Amino acid sequence: MFRKIRSNRDPGITVSAELYQEFRPYLTLIRRKTVRFLRAHPRLVFTLMVALIIFSLLFSFGLFSSDNKLDAKANNLHSQRGSGKNPQSIDDGLSKISSTGAKLRKTVEIKKQVDSVLERAELNNMDTLFLEAKLEELKRLR
């Protein structure tokens, strides 16, 4: 499993180098056209960059905020005035936690049973059937 693998390939040849070699004509064409466009229209590119930076700043600091923030504020005010949290959602969360705990307990119990069977020196057909049944039970628990 941990044997060293010997190879006759050149260590200088990598996947990225081979990909670059394969797509070199396309990449040089794209580079030439980009440089030509940037040299022909520097003012347009600069203006576009500044506009994008300004838009990014405005968007990140919330000037163009979405309605989600307004809805969140409204829900927050409603929950402060009302009875607090929704009891149904708390019950759902607690039931999920308890069911997960029950599944975990059942999984630990099955593991102990399987370990006790596997510690035997010889296994018979009944042990095999028992192990298959426990494996199916574990699949159902997931």
Mention every residue, 6+ apart, whose C-beta is less than 8 A from residue 130.
Answer: 117
Structure tokens at 38: 């940037």
CA distance 10 to 111: 49
> Exposed, middle or buried, 105 (CB in 10 Å: 0-12/13-18/19+)?
exposed
Using a cut of 0.85, tell me whether the model's pTM lies above it: no
Residue whose tokens read 């759902």: 92
Helix (H, G, I), strand (E, B) or coil at 70: helix
pLDDT in tens, 74-113: 566 555 555 555 667 777 778 888 888 888 899 999 989 9
